[in-house]
A and B are shown apart, each in its own frame.
Chain A
């Protein structure tokens, strides 16, 4: 039997820096009420959103990923030549071919890295983060750029008031590098394919459909246990967390999971209020904005949990850079 040479990686991996990008166009609830039958009070009470950002007609998933990725890279202190793997989590590209990650790398001056996209819907960033950490520890990459970038606005029916009030556009990114101690906890991930019909796009000519109440029930029933397990696997308790950053799906879901998690010392991300639901971008976008305004201390543990269409979910504890 042939035995190949093994490649050894780093003992651990850590997030060196975050970065984010939001389109300039701010759309308020009152703006939406001009075109669909809805109002500010109803939207705020049901999903917690006050305003959202929407990309321009010519602004792509790749454009936003380049902006966020460039900021994360600058904040990390690394140069493009240091990055040897780029992963983009997205489910809303204009088309599926070619992938986003190779173009993002090229536009950032990262020459010939490994480059692939991840579609785990709104859980995508946590899946990509876990894959990046494993790549560093397994020796297949040294420094990794992970981006969540989404343009939901091009997959939403702007006459459907049940979805158009929720979804938005934006991007968030993180740069990961090797470390002696691991600062990215073990992932807890899974899926529920029997729930596939609850959130879907039928074909390339269709818009996003969501059965809101079923999704609300599923998330508020199952996800607090996943969140707690991610803490256990990292060897901490929810009380040790300084931040809880769930996917910004709906403020009511965030509050319900937080209530059951009982992370009494954690700042709970509520970026959805100003940013809307940006799918795979929402977690890095929220955490990057929290770091930027000094809302969370560096070097302390944050719990991330992504969940969405599939259904898919993934959670891990990370040390805030």
Chain B
């Protein structure tokens, strides 16, 4: 069964809290990683690696640079048709 957007968002919030120290509650879909959450490119790589471990979806560097907001990542992960 595929994960819901809410499940991906919640998992992403926990990852971002652990890696970047941003409270998970602040990780909402419209937030920009760079402008709103103050997350730089190296932290984005770490988040991508952790997301791969958790959701089983690889986010290569070429794709990662196009993911600007939290929602972009949720849609990307969802689009790869993950199963829980």
Contact = CB atoms under 8 A, between A and B. Distances in A.
A308 B61 CA distance: 20
Contacts of B49: 217, 220-221
Q: Is the interface of B mostly helix, strand, loop or mixed?
A: helix
Given A213-B61, A214-B61, A45 B45 contact: no
A256 B18 CA distance: 11
A116 interface: no
B61 A217 contact: yes
A213 B18 CA distance: 20
A221 B61 CA distance: 13
A216 B40 contact: no
B45 A46 contact: no
Contacts, number: 22
A220 B45 contact: yes
A213 B46 contact: no
Interface string B6-29: 000000000000110000000000
Interface string A255-273: 0100100000000000000
A45 B40 CA distance: 9
A217 B52 CA distance: 12
B42 interface: yes
Interface in B36-52: 40-42, 45-46, 48-49
A46 B61 contact: no
A217 B63 CA distance: 14
Interface residues of B, number: 10
A220 B42 CA distance: 10
A212 to B, nearest CB: 9
Contacts of A46: 40, 42
Interface string A211-240: 001101100110000000000000000000
Q: Is the interface of A mostly helix, strand, loop or mixed?
A: helix
Interface residues of A, number: 11
Contacts of A217: 45, 48-49, 61
Nearest to A250: B42
B45 A213 contact: yes
Contacts of B48: 217
Contacts of B46: 220, 256
A252 B40 CA distance: 11
Interface string A188-230: 0000000000000000000000000110110011000000000
Contacts of B19: 259
A222 B84 CA distance: 24
A2 to B, nearest CB: 54
B60 to A, nearest CB: 9
Contact of A252 (B18, B42, B61): B42
B56 to A, nearest CB: 14
A216 B41 CA distance: 10
A265 to B, nearest CB: 20
A86 B56 CA distance: 47
Contacts of B45: 213, 216-217, 220
Interface in A22-41: none
Contacts of A221: 49
B39 to A, nearest CB: 12
Contacts of B40: 45-46
Interface of A: 45-46, 213-214, 216-217, 220-221, 252, 256, 259
Given A221-B49, A256-B46, 20 more contacts: A45-B40, A46-B40, A46-B42, A213-B41, A213-B42, A213-B45, A213-B61, A214-B61, A216-B42, A216-B45, A217-B45, A217-B48, A217-B49, A217-B61, A220-B45, A220-B46, A220-B49, A252-B42, A259-B18, A259-B19
